[in-house]
Amino acid sequence: MKTPILAFTVLLMMCLGALAELKWEQTMIELRPAANDKQAIGHFKYQNTGSTPVHFKSVHASCGCTTAQSQKEEVPPGDKGEITATFNIGDRTGTQVKTVTVETDEATNQRTVLTLKAEIPQQLEITPSFVFWKQGDKADTKTINVKVGKDFTVKHIKVTSSTPDFQTKVEEAGNGQFKIDVKPQDTNKIVASMLTIQPEDSQKVFYATARITNAPNVPVAPAGATAPARPTAPTGQTD
C-alpha cells in the first residue's frame, strides 16, 4: 500500500517541478524620487524557472495614477523579463503605496501582487493651506504655518497675494519654520485670494487660499437623515 502512495507523491512532485513558474527578483520596490520628478518607475524582474511557457492573463494597477506594462505576453522556459510600473506623482506628497496585480496561467501561484512604495519629498508643509472669514466677521489676523521638509534648506520665503484684499506678513520662527500672518482689509465683501508662497532660490511655488465666505444659507440635515423617496439633487443637480 505504501509503495503506490510513495510513487504517486514522487510523480506529483516531478510534475510540479516540470510546471511553469515565474520567480520574481522582488515583489516590493521602494523608490525615493527627487522633488521635481514627475514619475516614479519600478522594474519588477522575473524569470521562468519552469519547463513550460507562462502566459500573462492580466496586469492590473491599483489606481489610475499607476500604469503597468509587461514586455511580453508569453514567457518561454528560462526566459527573463520585467513588469514596468509607472507611478505618476502628480501633486501627491508623503508615502505612497501602489500595487500591481499580475495574473498568469501558472498551475500554482497564479496571482502575484507587486508593490511600489514611493516616498515623495515635500519641500514645504503648509498648515492650514486655507484661511477664511465669514462675511461680517472681525478682520482678525490668521496665521499659516510653514515647515521646511527635512531634506531641504530654505532660509527665506516670499509670499504674495493675488488681490490687494489681504495683507500678508512673513515671520521666521526658526528651525526651518515660518509663520505667515494673513489679514483681510475688511470682511464686508465676498472675495478670495491666492497666496503664492515661494522659497528663496527655488523654482517650486506653493499655494494657500484666503477667502471671505458667505454664511451657509441652507439648513443642515442631521448626519443620519434617511433618504427621500426620490433622489435629492446635490448642488446644481438635474435628473
Partner 1 sequence: MAALALFPAAGEAVYFRDKISWRSAIAPSEMVTVEQARGWGDSAIWVDARPDDEFANDHVPGAISLNEDRWNELLPQFLAVWVPGKKIVVYCSSLNCNASREVARRLRKEAQLSDVFVLEGGWEAWLKKNR
In whole angstroms, give the CA distance from residue 55 to residue 105.
6
Sheet containing 111-120, strands listed edge to edge, beginning at the edge strand earlier in sequence: 28-31, 111-120, 94-104, 54-61, 74-75
Q: Which residue has the cell 471671505?
A: 212
- For the CB of residue 29, give the shortest distance to partner 1 in the complex, in Å: 14
- For the CB of residue 108, give the shortest distance to partner 1 in the complex, in Å: 14
Of 47 and 194, nearer to partner 1 (C-beta) is 194
Of 170 and 194, nearer to partner 1 (C-beta) is 194
- For the CB of residue 16, give the shortest distance to partner 1 in the complex, in Å: 14
User: 68 has which bridge partners?
Assistant: 85
In whole angstroms, give the CA distance from residue 230 to residue 239.
10
Of 175 and 217, nearer to partner 1 (C-beta) is 217
91: which residues sit within 8 A by CB, 6+ positions away? none
- For the CB of residue 216, give the shortest distance to partner 1 in the complex, in Å: 3
Of 76 and 128, nearer to partner 1 (C-beta) is 128
In whole angstroms, give the CA distance from residue 91 to residue 180.
22
- List residues near partner 1 by CB under 8 A: 62-65, 88, 90-92, 97-99, 115, 126-130, 132, 134, 192, 194, 206-207, 209, 211, 213-221, 223-228, 231-238
